[in-house]
């Protein structure tokens, strides 16, 4: 047995296996993902003693990976409704780079777990940045795949039309390996994609990366990024995509779907929610049906524009 370093930073809600074995692929899982027979709380008093009777699809797949073991369920922002990890029934997570700083969220415990080398790979969920934000704050890789590439069956939803499973690691090869093991169609999740196979491209084919003009970043960061891309021998193409300025409209979708899921809990457990989480949920009840439908329409138009740009990039 060995002491998980992440405990010092409040990374875990439940420790599952801390037997020391350097020959295993150690995996930590966010606590909104169902694990059969193991408490799954979503860091909330509402589900404080909830024990699922089945595994999420991704947990089933992780258990099939040779020499892999799940070491812990990680702390998070309650119900994944927040980007700071400061609201949890199990306390605030602390940034391993500086305990006075936040980890970001909502997958903050997962980011800690790989940052301190307790886990080789950690699983999180990402609806509005919940893998990418803590990855950036804690200095690790955070990957949010295309919607539908990894099943979300058995995961406590935040916004079902926007939820993604994401992967965090300090090792890009291990991250990619776990992604390959998890991706694919799941008949329990109608959003999963049946076939996204792409024929191997010829080595001499031009490779391009598009830079969307409407998305701004500070000059130093942009210049560092551009220098890095040029070193990889990619072509840079600047793209106009004005519709991305409408992305904040997605909040209507997120809030309405979140409120829909939590309606049943609020009747009995409203007092058990953190104030910021409860406030966010209640905003969803103010969304009119017509606004929700209009936002879905805008989203469809955005997808069409992104697809059009992508086709132009590879043609």
Are the C-beta atoms of 49 and 15 separated by less than 8 Å?
no
Q: Are residues 156 and 66 in the same domain?
A: yes
* C-alpha to C-alpha distance for 315 and 44, rounded to whole angstroms: 48
Supply φ then ψ for residue 237, to 5 degrees. -130, 120
Within a domain: 62: yes
In a shared domain, residues 17 and 133? yes
pLDDT value, residue 306: 87
Q: Which domain holds residue 174?
A: 5-182
Q: Is residue 251 part of a domain?
A: yes
- How far is 303 from 241, CA to CA, in rounded Å? 11
* 43 occurs within a structural domain: yes
| Residue 53 domain flag | yes
Report the 10 Å Cβ neighbour count for 21: 10
Q: How many whole angstroms separate alpha carbon 139 and alpha carbon 141? A: 7
* CATH code where residue 27 lies: 3.90.1300.10
Active site (catalytic) residues? 30, 106, 130
How many domains is the chain built from? 2
Tell me, yes or no, whether 268 lies in a domain: yes
Are the C-beta atoms of residues 85 and 109 closer than 8 Å to each other?
Answer: yes
* Burial (CB count <10 Å: 0-12, 13-18, 19+), residue 60: middle
Same domain, 252 and 170: no
What radius of gyration, in Å, describes the C-alpha atoms of the chain? Answer: 20
Model confidence, pTM: 0.92
Residue 266 lies in a domain: yes
Q: How far apart are CA 68 and CA 177, in angstroms?
A: 12
Residue 126 lies in a domain: yes
Per-residue pLDDT of the chain (315 residues; tens, 9 = 90+): 678 999 999 999 999 987 877 789 999 999 999 999 999 999 999 999 999 999 999 999 999 999 999 999 999 999 999 999 999 999 999 999 999 999 999 999 999 999 999 999 999 999 999 999 999 999 999 999 999 999 999 999 999 999 999 999 999 999 999 999 999 999 999 999 886 555 544 455 667 888 898 988 899 998 998 899 889 888 888 899 888 888 878 889 999 999 999 999 999 999 999 999 999 999 999 999 999 999 999 889 988 998 888 888 776
Instruction: Indicate whether 92 and 169 sit together in one domain.
Output: yes
**Domain finish residue from 144, 165, 182:** 182
Residue 230 CB-density burial (10 A; 0-12 exposed, 13-18 middle, 19+ buried): exposed
User: Is 123 within 8 Å of 28 (Cβ atoms)?
Assistant: yes
Q: Is 128 helix (H, G, I), strand (E, B) or coil?
A: coil
Beta bridge partners of 68: 25
Helices (H), the chain: 57-63, 108-115, 132-138, 172-182, 219-231, 250-269, 275-284, 289-314
Task: Scan for tokens 């409203």, then name that residue.
Answer: 270
Check: CB of residue 147 under 8 Å from CB of residue 163.
Answer: no
The bridge status of strand 121-126 relative to strand 25-30 is parallel
Boundary residue ending a domain (127, 156, 182): 182
Q: Are residues 167 and 265 in the same domain?
A: no
């Amino acid at each position: 047995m060995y002491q998980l370093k992440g405990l010092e930073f409040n990374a875990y809600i439940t420790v599952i296996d801390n037997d020391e074995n350097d020959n295993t692929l150690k995996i930590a899982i966010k606590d909104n993902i169902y694990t059969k027979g193991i408490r799954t709380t979503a860091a909330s008093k509402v589900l404080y003693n909830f024990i699922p009777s089945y595994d999420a699809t991704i947990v089933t797949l992780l258990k099939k990976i040779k020499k892999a073991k799940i070491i812990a369920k990680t702390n998070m922002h309650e119900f994944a409704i927040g980007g700071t990890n400061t609201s949890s029934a199990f306390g605030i997570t602390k940034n391993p780079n500086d305990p006075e700083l936040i980890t970001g969220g909502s997958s903050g415990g997962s980011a800690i777990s790989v940052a301190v080398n307790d886990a080789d790979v950690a699983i999180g969920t990402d609806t509005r940045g919940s893998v990418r934000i803590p990855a950036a704050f804690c200095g690790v890789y955070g990957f949010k795949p295309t919607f539908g590439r990894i099943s979300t069956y058995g995961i406590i939803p935040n916004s079902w039309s926007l939820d993604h499973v994401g992967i965090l690691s300090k090792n890009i090869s291990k991250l990619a390996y776990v992604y390959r093991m998890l991706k694919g169609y799941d008949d329990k999740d109608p959003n999963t994609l049946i076939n996204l196979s792409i024929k191997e491209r010829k080595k001499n084919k031009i490779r391009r990366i598009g830079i969307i003009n409407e998305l701004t970043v500070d000059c130093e960061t942009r210049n560092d990024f551009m220098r890095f891309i040029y070193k990889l021998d990619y072509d840079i193409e600047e793209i106009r995509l004005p519709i991305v300025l409408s992305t904040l409209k997605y909040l209507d979708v997120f809030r309405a779907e979140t409120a829909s899921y939590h309606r049943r809990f609020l009747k009995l457990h409203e007092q058990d929610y953190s104030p910021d989480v409860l406030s966010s949920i209640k905003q969803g009840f103010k969304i009119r049906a017509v606004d929700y439908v209009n936002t879905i329409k805008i989203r469809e138009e955005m997808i069409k524009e992104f697809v059009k740009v992508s086709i132009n990039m590879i043609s």
